[in-house]
Amino acid sequence: MVISRLIGDFGDKRRWREYKARTKQLPANYREALDAIERYLMYHGGVTDAEIMLSMNNDLLDLFEQAAADGTPIRAIVGDDPVEFVETFLQNYSKGQWINKERKRLVEAIDHAASSQSK
């Protein structure tokens, strides 16, 4: 539908608002950590598929909600290297990353160029 391209999917927007409302329920220090991870994922993650991004964020929030409920320290969640934690976590959602499209495009271009050369 043209309207969904212009304004986005209403279901995705509703799910995003629900996600943000849930994050506000976290204790302040867990919310601060989650916000930092979310910000890093937005800049570094390159996830362009809204469905995958929403699933990723909700899975991360589930983890933080459970940790907060159990009293698990934040460092026990993310370890000594938060970047490594986030990038490892992100690998589970690589299908939605824009770079995959570019990787495929590169492979196809090289395959085409190489096949043209051998003729």
Angle at 62 between CA 24 and CA 37, to 5 degrees: 70
Domain boundaries, the chain: 2-117
Q: The whole model's pTM is what?
A: 0.73
Q: What is the pLDDT of residues 8-58, one digit of tens each?
A: 567 778 888 999 999 999 999 999 999 999 999 888 777 777 888 898 899
Rounded Cα–Cα distance for residues 100 and 103 (Å): 5
**Which residue reads 């995958």 in tokens?**
52
DSSP state of 47: B
Q: Reduced to 3 states, what is the DSSP secondary structure of residue 91?
A: helix
CA distance 83 to 52: 20
CATH no. for 2-117: 1.10.1900.10
Residue with tokens 């629900």: 18
